[in-house]
Amino acid sequence: MSTGGALPLDAGPVPVPSDQDGDVLTRQDRAALRPPWRQPLAVTGGAIIVGWALVAIFAPELAPHPPNLQFGPLNAPPSHVYLFGTDELGRDVLSRVFYGARLSLPLAALLVAVAMTIGSVLGATAGFFGGVVDAVIMRIADLVFAFPGIILALAVAAALGAELRNAVLAVIVVSWPSYARLSRGLVLAARSSEYVTSAKLLGSSAWRTMWVELRPNIAGPIFVLAALDIGNAVLLLSGLSFLGLGAQPPTAEWGSMVAEGAQNFSSYWIGLFPGLAILTVVLAFNFVGDALRDMLDPRTARMIRK
């Protein structure tokens, strides 16, 4: 006879969680079965992105001073007065980091959205129609892939001129072929499926078939790539600004701020804090991209875990 919450003496062994094949799940396996948005890294990445988004929106209210105001002592180290210190012109580094978020984050999201749209449309068109259309589009994509991304971006930005707008265009030129190749592969795998064949037999046009039938089935992996690509876009934009081909002084932009810090090694804080901002943003979007992959493409996630 049992009392309270104790197990009876003749009770069998306590069942151990197992997967569908009957294998006992370890603690790590049970943690991996949590919903993607309950994963600690996904929550951390989402919180960091939300935090930086709020900083970008409310930078004028959060920043202690205007970004280009020369008011303080030159190269003052971090203190309770200047939390991130001041640069060689007496500008507040904290204020410039906050205002830099207003450039880096929206521009990175914009250029990824443009590159995703261009690449997905071209790749889906190449995969669906095939033949000459496929050959022309993919050979152009292969031509872009033939060069290292940062080298090609440098060449395009240098040819167009040292401006932030031209740096964005250069990153778009570098980024769209990856979406084209991914969407082409997904369309090639899906165009012979039954639902696409049924749509064709019912008289649906090619463009309607791609939009109505294929788009929902290829959107998941493309959005995963886009989430991961935002961090790469921030890095590329910052790299171009670091080399003088992006944002120009006195614009507050993280890459150009790191370049200013590289010229003042004794004042480490000038480049340290914008560099940490870039690091946190890139890590956050990588964490969120992994969570999106687990949610939208669970088969790939299970293969990676194995």
Residue-wise pLDDT for 86-134, tens only, equals 999 999 999 999 999 999 999 999 999 999 999 999 999 998 888 899 9
What domains lie within the chain, and their CATH numbers? Answer: 38-58+83-305 (1.10.3720.10)
**What count of other Cβ atoms lies within 10 Å of the Cβ of residue 121?**
16
For residue 1, the model assigns a pLDDT of 45
SS3 state of residue 86: strand
Q: How confident is the model at residue 303 (pLDDT cuts 50, 70, 90)?
A: very low
CA separation, residue 191 to residues 16, 69, 148, 187 (Å): 43, 58, 32, 6
Q: How confident is the model at residue 35 (pLDDT cuts 50, 70, 90)?
A: low
Q: What is the pTM of this model?
A: 0.79
Within 13 A of 29's CA, how many CA atoms are on the CB side?
11
SS3 state of residue 24: strand
Q: What is the largest CA-CA distance in the chain?
A: 86
Mean pLDDT confidence for 154-169: 89
Q: How confident is the model at residue 270 (pLDDT cuts 50, 70, 90)?
A: very high
| Model confidence at 217: pLDDT above 90 | no
In whole numbers, what is the pLDDT of the chain averaged over residues? 83
Return d(Cα 24, Cα 30) in angstroms, integer: 10
SS3 state of residue 92: strand
